[in-house]
Amino acid sequence: MPSIIFPQWHDKATGFFSSSGVKLKEAKESAGTFVDEVTKDTRSNVAEVAGRVGTMVKNRWALLQQPSTRHAVQDRLISAAATTGVFLRKGLSETKDKVVVGKSKVEEVAKITAQKSKTILTDIERWQKGVASTDVFGVPIEVTVQRQDCSKPIPQILLNCADYLVLSGLNTPYLFKYEGEKKVIHQLISRYNQDLNASVPEGTNPVDIAALAKCYLACLPEPLTTFELYNEIKGARSSIYSMRNILKKLPSVNYMTLEFVTALLLRVSQKSLLNKMDVRNLALEVAPIIMWQKEQRPDFYSQYLNQISKSPSKKSLDPPPGSVSEFDLLADDGEAIVASSPIPLDDGTPVDFGAIEVVQLLIEHHNAIFTDANETVWR
* Amino acid 70: pLDDT: 66
Write out pLDDT tens, residues 147-162. Answer: 887 778 999 999 999 9
Residue length, the chain? Answer: 379
- pLDDT at position 272, please? 94
Q: What is the per-residue pLDDT for 152?
A: 85
pLDDT the model gives residue 230: 95
Long-range contact set of residues 370-379: C-beta below 8 Å, sequence gap at least 24: 370/244, 370/247, 370/259, 370/262, 370/263, 371/244, 373/255, 373/256, 373/259, 374/256, 376/259, 376/260, 376/263, 376/264, 378/162, 378/163, 378/166, 378/267, 379/163, 379/166, 379/167
pLDDT confidence of residue 108? 75
| pLDDT score of 284 | 94
Write down the pLDDT at residue 165: 96
pLDDT for 173 equals 95
Specify whether the CB–CB gap between 206 and 169 falls below 8 A: yes
- Which residues of the chain fall short of a pLDDT of 50? 1-5, 124, 127-130, 307-347
pLDDT at position 125 is 52
pTM, two decimals, is 0.57
